[in-house]
Amino acid sequence: MILPYERSENNMHRTDYRKFLSPDTVSKLKGMELKARMVVEGFIAGMHKSPYHGFSVEFAEHRQYMPGDSIRDIDWKVYAKSDRYYIKQYEEETNLKSYILLDCSASMGYSSDPAHQNKFDYALTLAASLAYLMLKQRDAVGLTTFADDIIKYVPPRSTTGHLHVLLRQFSNLVTASTTDIALPLHEMAERIKRRGLIIIISDLFDDPERIISGIKHFRHRNHEVIVFQVLDPREQDFAFSGEAIFEDMETGEKITTLPWQIKGDYAKQFNSFTSLLAAECRQARADYHLIDTSMPFDKALYAFLAKRERLF
């Protein structure tokens, strides 16, 4: 199947980019970029060592030592010959291509507290932060959005300006449609020829066996895979009180019940669901991380850095 670059009807992404020049849109893009930068730079500042240390790099040139430079980068062999301090400068390798696969199905729009981020907004910030971090490291990053099929595909690039291309896509996304995660996973596994890093961001509310089949397809193609299952805290602890009406955000089906009566069964089903995903990902040698919208983004960023470092 040829991947569509645009999707028609109600969820169509408009091609009139003049709208991105409007003050409201520019403000929104700048806000997302600022938020992503704050997440990443705050994360880096809190680390005990630079995330770049240990990454595969190539030597570029020497330059004279300046106050404030790390003594770790001093070339002591040059010092022994010249009695002068020189710093080794490196260039990060740019041969890693990463692909962010972002779930835009209707269930991602859920939040148990209207005052807090819903899953989709959290996923957008996470995706933007990862893109910012990758491009900062001169890695190429692409984007695929999906629901029951592929909505948009943006090929990976490593240029600084590519961040704004991705942010424009993020700013134009809405949640809609039902979920069929396996179909877009299989389509992308067939499309991506060169080995890369696949980052899946979704609530994974679909048949786990079919999801795993898509992940295994990537692994069969020798891609590395990180899976971030993004959930609302209440979807994990089911801490609802009083009589409640639960509505499926994708089908509209409603159930009226007393949450405390079904909480035990829900917990068993939920734990079985997530345990199966985790176990199957381990068996497929894919990294699985369950995160909820109350968590800081550090867990996801650490997971990415650890995976990237292992690739080199």
Render pLDDT for 224-273 as a digit per residue (tens, 0 to 9): 999 999 999 999 999 988 888 888 888 889 989 898 999 999 999 999 99
302 vs 115, which has greater pLDDT? 302
- pLDDT tens-digit readout, 6-56: 333 333 333 343 443 445 555 656 677 888 888 887 876 766 444 444 344
Which segments within 68-223 are labelled E, that is strand? 86-92, 97-103, 140-146, 150-157, 197-202
Q: Tell me the C-alpha distance between 259 and 108, whole Å.
A: 21
**CB 214 within 8 Å of CB 229:** no
Mapping DSSP to helix (H, G, I), strand (E, B) and coil, where does residue 55 land?
A: coil
Show Cβ contacts of residue 282 under 8 Å, excluding neighbours closer than 6 positions.
288
What pLDDT score was predicted for residue 141?
96
What pLDDT score was predicted for residue 198?
97
Q: Tell me the C-alpha distance between 279 and 162, whole Å.
A: 36
Is the pLDDT at 275 greater than 60? The verdict is: yes
How many separate helices (H) and strands (E) can be counted in the chain?
Answer: 9, 10
What pLDDT score was predicted for residue 312?
64
Nearest CA among 133, 138, 165, 135 for reference residue 152: 165
Lowest-pLDDT range of 63-67, 111-115, 156-160, 306-310: 63-67
Q: Tell me the C-alpha distance between 124 and 56, whole Å.
A: 29
**CB 101 within 8 Å of CB 151:** no
Domains observed in the chain? 9-45+94-311 (3.40.50.410), 57-92 (no CATH)
- pLDDT tens-digit readout, 66-121: 766 677 778 888 888 888 887 765 544 446 899 999 999 999 999 998 888 999 99
What pLDDT score was predicted for residue 56?
41
Q: Tell me the C-alpha distance between 106 and 147, whole Å.
A: 8
**CB 244 within 8 Å of CB 266:** no
Q: What is the mean pLDDT of residues 299-308?
A: 86
What pLDDT score was predicted for residue 242?
82
What pLDDT score was predicted for residue 309?
77
